[in-house]
Chains A and B, each alone.
Chain A
Amino acid sequence: MLTRRKLLGTTAAFGAGVAVQALLPAWARSGVHNNVKGLRALSGTNFDLIIDKTTVMIDGRRGHAITVNGQLPAPLLRFREGDEVTMRVTNNLEEDTSIHWHGLLVPFQMDGVPGVTFPGIKPGETFTYRFPLKQAGTYWYHSHSGLQEQSGHYGPIIIEPKDADPVAYDREYVVVLSDWTFEHPHRLFAKLKKMSETYNFQQRTIGDFFREVREEGLGATLNDRLMWGKMRMSPTDISDVTGATYTYLVNGHGPKDNWTALFTPGERVRLRFINAAAMTIFNVRIPGLPMTVVQADGLNVQPVEIDEFQIGVAETYDVIIHPQADRAFTLMCETIDRSGYARATLAPRPGMEAEIPPLRPRPLLTMKDMGMAHDMTTHGDMTTHGDMSGQDAMDHSGMDHSGMDHSNMGHSGMNHAAMGHDTMAQGGTMQKHNHPTGVGVDSTAMMPVNRLHEPGLGLEDVPHRALTYADLKSLDPNPDHRTPEREIEIHLTGNMERYMWSFDGVKFSEVTEPILFYKDERLRMTLVNDTMMSHPIHLHGMFFDVVNGEHHHKPRKHTIIVKPGEKLSVDITADAVGDWAFHCHLLYHMHAGMMQVVSVREKTREKAQ
């Protein structure tokens, strides 16, 4: 049966070679004609995917991409829940490649991570992936080889639900966000290793100093500078790789290309956002148009109306918009460090444009982002300075509490009312660090706090509704209600100066043992972010039940942003035997070592050994 969505979504599915704009699938159709090449949907159960090098045009400039079927992003794959699909992937590159099906619950030997779940796909080789589809929703796929993801090797997946879709809409678009650089990714990474601030052109200057002296007074400004200086850290370290090298893309289109999605006023439009960037966390808003979040990481959530959301690398959000006016809207996807933006237009007719809002000033990190929850000391039940006498023993790279000025640290951003006291209590105690801290660890969070009630770095003060993880509640009750039998704590660690990243102070190159899960156990994974950056943490093969309250509607996610200085918990049902990649989805953090393997094993067999 051809549904309305199918008509809109897959008309070009079998029309190989058809490049007429009108015949392009809805998700790829744009009001602009200069980069329509390659945005196609494929559907069915059998797919041929060819990995190759392709010349692409980004904002009028020629670049070399690694593509799937010659397309950037790779073709939209439209699956149907319950089907078994077969993908023959041919590697035409001169190096190994792979495809990982991000968020899909597949048998581990089909997960596509070279060196963990399979050997990779050699040049000239065709590898066949085959697996049943146990879920529905918005997902994506990408290379897990080297830095290919940076070069364009990613594409969207939509899995149609077997039963009726609880989300009603008249039209849908996929919005694949990504970051593109004309530099070679290996050169880019090498620069970060040599000079980690290479791409940060938003550091604090002498001018900022004098402005702050005027605003805050000399004493406070000096104290602030001395405090950060003593730690040898910069409160402007928001993104490692920025608009200084990146062009930010929507469905392969730069801001100048202005990808345009058409709607008829009064329609309910479903936007399926996928953050397929290598390194960029985006803040997404549509000025003048509220969004109702209906899905997160492929799974339905109870609808929540918001005006802006932060989307970490590898996360997906589906939202419904309901534009009534006969006017264009700008889909504004500002980077977390506000060094650039991806932009698209929603319009009733091609060629229409709306105003592009100016980039907002980049945020500055605070002591809270350092895992020193000092801006919460006013909260009564929080520890005061006097209780922290034990800190010297913790090798905290020379932090000076005397130098801190609390008036300077953005209390205004805190929503005390919204913070549950249980989470405060969790964060209010001194954090233990039972992991190696050596050269690769430049700080440890002494008092990390739960920040699930906060919308993400830099959105604390926006004058409108910004989504928080605490707002998300799954539509269906969680399949597993068991209380976790075991808790494991994992610390996100790094050294910004040397550009080293790791879990528990150990880079993947030095890891000797995987993280062990036992088959069917229910366990709690607590993540402590010792660094000053937001890390989107991704576990393959299993979903995280994000512990944002004591209820059975925890949002289930494959990727979760752990904010700087945050401690949060996710519950996991270890129902998928095998070895699974577990890593920060910021590509260069993973490449620098922020990765581990989670090995799910039969408990009895383990004992027998």
Chain B
Amino acid sequence: MKYLLTLCALLSLAATSVHAQTAADAYYDPAEMEKARTALRQETGGQTFTFVQADRLEYQTNEGEGVLLWDAQGWIGGDINKFWFKTEGEYFLDADEFEEAEVQALYSRAISPFFDLQVGLRHDITPNPSRTHAVIGIQGLAPYWFEVDAAAFVSDEGEVTARIEAEYELLLTQRLILQPRTELSFAAQDVEELGIGSGLSTVEAGMRLRYEIKREIAPYIGFAWNRKIGDTADFARLEGETVDSLSFVVGLRLWY
């Protein structure tokens, strides 16, 4: 219904425009003029772009154990409406298996000068058993230059979880940039089979120092710290896993 309304609005908009400025029709073929007007409107603010960014593409080493981590996102669309995708995950080199891997497909709509509202689906490929979630979130630039991505998830099993991620950039020089980053995960209930406890479940914090060879290409080094909290930590202990870890990371940040 909403799409139908939008379509109607667009059509009526196009129709008004036809009558808005037509002086040139007296001198040139009106059909040609209309084509040119449509093209001009489209290319003067109505364009579509594609963005792909690997914010983190890195190798982590923690007491000799190697992990590959990726965190990428991108979009296609105009200023207001975008199709947005996100993917992140970890691959344990020693165990030769994915620890986590998820993809999100979202409709994103600009709702304020600095924020987008995003709704869609998230699918976790691992861990097993896999889950699919409905997603609602906001992403954008908060006051004081914090890049914020906050989302709530409802899984197909009815579990409610949430995540908030914030990044900041400190310019040591124009190209050498220190980026602190933190991510908090929450759960509304225990999900024992996934080892998640209710409340604040995990805290991640990291610091990455990148050098922008070009704006689009920046290698970095840094460290990442993870800690499981509360019941989540208890579940981990029962499994014989560690509840916190500190890793050194080396990686690449790319966008196009």
Contact = CB atoms under 8 A, between A and B. Distances in A.
B20 A513 contact: yes
Interface string B113-149: 1100000000000000000000000000111110000
B44 A441 contact: no
A205 B35 contact: no
A607 B43 CA distance: 33
A573 to B, nearest CB: 18
Contacts of A590: 44
B24 A439 contact: no
Contacts of B111: 439
Interface in A483-540: 495, 497-498, 500-502, 507-514
Contacts of A14: none
Interface in B161-208: 170-175
The 4 closest A-B pairs by CB, nearest first: A593-B45, A115-B40, A507-B45, A509-B46
Contact of B79 (A116, A206, A500, A597): A500
7 contacts: A109-B24, A115-B37, A195-B215, A206-B170, A509-B44, A514-B20, A592-B44
B23 A198 contact: no
Interface in B37-62: 37-47, 49, 51
A193 interface: yes
A20 interface: no
A440 interface: yes
B246 interface: no
A577 B23 contact: yes
Interface SS of chain B: helix, strand, loop or mixed? mixed
B180 to A, nearest CB: 13
Contacts of A439: 79-80, 110-113
Given A202-B174, A232-B141, A232-B143, A115 B39 contact: yes
B41 A115 contact: yes
B21 interface: yes
B245 interface: no
Contacts of B213: none
Contacts of A398: 143
Interface in A215-261: 226, 229-232
B94 interface: no
A593 B44 contact: yes
Interface string A180-203: 000000000011011100100111
Given A120-B36, A203-B171, A439-B79, A579 B44 contact: no
B79 A108 contact: no
B174 A508 contact: no
B174 A205 contact: yes
Interface of A: 108-109, 114-120, 146, 190-191, 193-195, 198, 201-207, 226, 229-232, 397-398, 438-442, 495, 497-498, 500-502, 507-514, 577-579, 590-593, 595, 597, 599
B3 interface: no
Contacts of B36: 114-115, 118-120
Given A204-B171, A232-B114, A440-B79, A507 B44 contact: yes
Nearest to A195: B215
A119 B33 contact: yes
Contact of B28 (A109, A497, A511, A591): A109
B17 interface: yes
Contacts of A440: 79, 113
Contacts of B40: 114-116, 508
Given A398-B143, A591-B44, A599-B21, 9 more contacts: A109-B28, A115-B36, A118-B36, A119-B33, A201-B175, A232-B145, A438-B113, A507-B46, A514-B20
A118 B21 contact: no
A398 B35 CA distance: 42
A115 to B, nearest CB: 3
Nearest to B169: A203
> Which of A194, A512, A513, A591 has most chain B Cβ within 10 Å?
A194
Contacts of A118: 24, 27-28, 33, 36
B29 interface: yes
A345 B43 CA distance: 39
A198 B215 contact: yes
Contacts of A512: 13, 16-17, 20
A492 to B, nearest CB: 14
Nearest to A186: B47
Nearest to B13: A512
A198 B42 CA distance: 24
A593 B42 CA distance: 9
A207 B49 CA distance: 35
Given A509-B44, A597-B21, A109 B27 contact: yes
B37 A498 contact: no
